[in-house]
Structure 1
Amino acid sequence: MAARRKARRRRKARGRAVPSGGGLLLGLLVLAVFWSRIWVYVVVLAAVAAVGGLGWWLWRTDRLVRGRDREWRRQDAVAAGRRTLAEVDGMTGTEFEDLVAALCRRDGCAEVRRVGGAGDQGADVVGRLPDGRTMVVQCKRYAPSAVIASREVRDLLGSKVHFGMDVAVFVTTTRFSRQAMDVVLKNGVIAVNRDLLGSWNSGASLPSLMGVNGSGQGDATHRARWRTTYGRQKRRRPGRPLRDGPDAV
């Protein structure tokens, strides 16, 4: 009995089976009969599929481009972090300005451009901080044994007024004199000395450096170590300026 039931089920299944090409022929026949009514829907469906495919391709391309850009920025940040201050000391003034501009861009600053050169009005880099405020940057690549004088900070304040900027930033490879720090604190200048520049170059962000601005340049022990490491600044005759220019060391 069981064998007979299995045989009947197989015969019914064969009776219901559609030939391999029957479904396709039936679909084409229905399409041909009702084409005048459904062609609009078919065209719309094809258009939607085409637009969807194009959108997916654009999305995928954008993801790939953004991914390559992020990887390039990550590698550039790693390379910058490995750059030593000794290498920075060996840069020309223009290269140092380019480095400062690159660090600003790395930290999310916008519209950053280098303006240093003849007639720069004391400004080397201008841009916009991540919070939207405009900034003007003065870059001084001096020998570590040198000291930034107060008049140089006042020159930067003049540039801030000239360019109509919100924030003034002074970046140097050395330290600020006591009188220069007084000008910094009284006028809200962001002073990035050699120590802070090392932190910035190694990955600290510019906004984080602004948070510790004016906190000092170390105690007497730190200053003694500084003089031991870099030597004591040679005394200058009153009114004689420090060496200033692209190749000043």
Structure 2
Amino acid sequence: MYDDSSFERWLKFGLGGLFALAAAKMFWHWLTQDVWHWITADVWGWITEHPWWSALIAAPVTLFVLAFLVGLFLPDDAVRVYGGAEAEQEEPLGLTYSLDQLAAMSPAGFEQACADLLARDGFLRARRVGGAGDLGADVVAWDAPGNKIVLQCKQYARPVGSTEIQTFNGTARPEHGADTAVIVGLNGFTTPASHFATRHDITLIGREDLESWAQGEHLYLVIAEERSAA
């Protein structure tokens, strides 16, 4: 039996194809005749008659195209490399140390490691200031609200004694304006040193606390846990 709907579909398809072919032919004629003539005659003629104006227009257009291509094809990590100071100021996210690594460092390296851990935790302007005449401050930094933290870093092979705590107590706040005064002891503290620190609000980061901090725990959380356990 003859199918009228099938005939109509083929008729519509054929008419649509003829229309598309005619439209394509008209567009091609317009593109090759009118547009090409406009580019070669009108635009090029204006450029040759006004070279200076053409250069002024072409320069920013060229820079825009180059910037677009650089942003399109240059990898993201390459962009960060060319970021200069901003790339250098990135915090050392994910930084960790083992106790063995900390013990193997030089005294200055140990102090710098503590400064880097503060930067990892989001402290601002964390830097090592230890050296001759430092008056007990090895590392200084500021937290987000603006409170200053002062660290003295003791990499002793023995526990830190009361004498060192007393000396630091005399300079941390009067000389350095510490809001939080901290002594980091790689091998802990003696009992008299701990008692003196408690009486004078000196925060002690002993071996276990240092391990937690160096393995990724925020310093303030370590301090809070140490005080709650005391």
TM-score (structure 2 length as normaliser)? 0.65
Would you say the 8 A contact 1:127–1:134 is kept in 2?
A: yes
Which residue of structure 2 lines up, in the alignment, with residue 169 of structure 1?
A: 182
Contact 1:115/1:126 (8 A) holds in 2: yes
Q: Secondary structure at the match of 1:139?
A: strand
The amino acid that maps onto 1:121 is: L
Q: In structure 2, do the counterparts of structure 1 residues 181 and 20 end up closer, same or farther at CA, with 3 Å as the change threshold?
A: same
Q: Does the 8 A contact of 1:89 with 1:141 survive in 2?
A: yes
User: Is residue 116 from structure 1 mapped to residue 127 from structure 2 by the alignment?
Assistant: no
The residue correspondences of 1:101-180 to structure 2 (distance < 5 A) are: 101-143=115-157, 146-160=158-172, 161-180=174-193
Runs of 4+ in 1 over 4 A off after TM superposition: 8-17, 27-36, 42-46, 55-72
> Is the 2:91–2:119 contact (alpha carbons within 8 Å) kept by the matching residues of 1?
no
User: What is the CA-CA distance between 1:18 and the residue it aligns to?
Assistant: 0.9
Note the 1:19-38 alignment, pairs <5 A: 21-22=32-33, 23-27=35-39, 29=41, 31=43
| Distance in 1 between residues matched to 2:87 and 2:39, nearest whole Å | 47
| Cα 1:15/1:164, change in 2 over 3 Å | closer
1:148-206 CA distance string (max 9 Å, x none):
32332222222221122222111011223333223333333221100011111111121
Q: Which residue of 1 aligns with 2:102?
A: 88
What fraction of aligned residue pairs are identical, expressed as a percent? 25
For structure 2, the 5+ residue unaligned runs are: 1-10
Number of aligned residue pairs: give it: 205
- Matched residue type, 2:181: A
1:195 is the counterpart of 2:208: yes
Give distance in 2, aligned partners of 1:153 and 1:19: 89
| Equivalent-residue separation in structure 2 for 1:136 and 1:73 (angstroms) | 20
The range that moved more, 16-25 or 64-73, is: 64-73
Aligned-residue CA RMSD (Å): 4.3
TM-superposed deviation, 1:49: 7.3
Which amino acid is 1:138 matched to? Q
Paired residue secondary structure (2:146): coil
Is 2:151–2:184's contact at 8 Å kept on the other side of the alignment?
yes
Match of 2:111 in 1: 97
User: Aligned letter for 1:21?
Assistant: T
**Matching residue within 29, 42, 54 for 1:18:** 29
Higher relative contact order structure (alpha carbons within 8 Å, sequence separation ≥ 6): 1
SS in structure 1 of the partner of residue 226 of structure 2:
coil
State whether structure 2 residue 199 is matched by structure 1 residue 183.
Answer: no
Q: Which runs of 5+ in 1 are unaligned?
A: 218-249
Name the structure 2 match of 1:242: none
Check conservation: 1:184, 1:214, Cα contact below 8 A: no
Q: Decide whether aligned partners of structure 1 residues 90 and 15 sit closer, same or farther in structure 2, where only a CA change above 3 A counts.
A: closer
Contact conserved, 1:110 with 1:128, CA < 8 A, in 2? yes
The 1:214/1:177 distance shift into structure 2, 3 A limit, reads: farther
SS of 1:162 mapped into structure 2: coil
CA contact (8 A) 2:209 2:222 kept: yes
CA 1:94–1:43: 2 relative to 1, 3 Å: closer
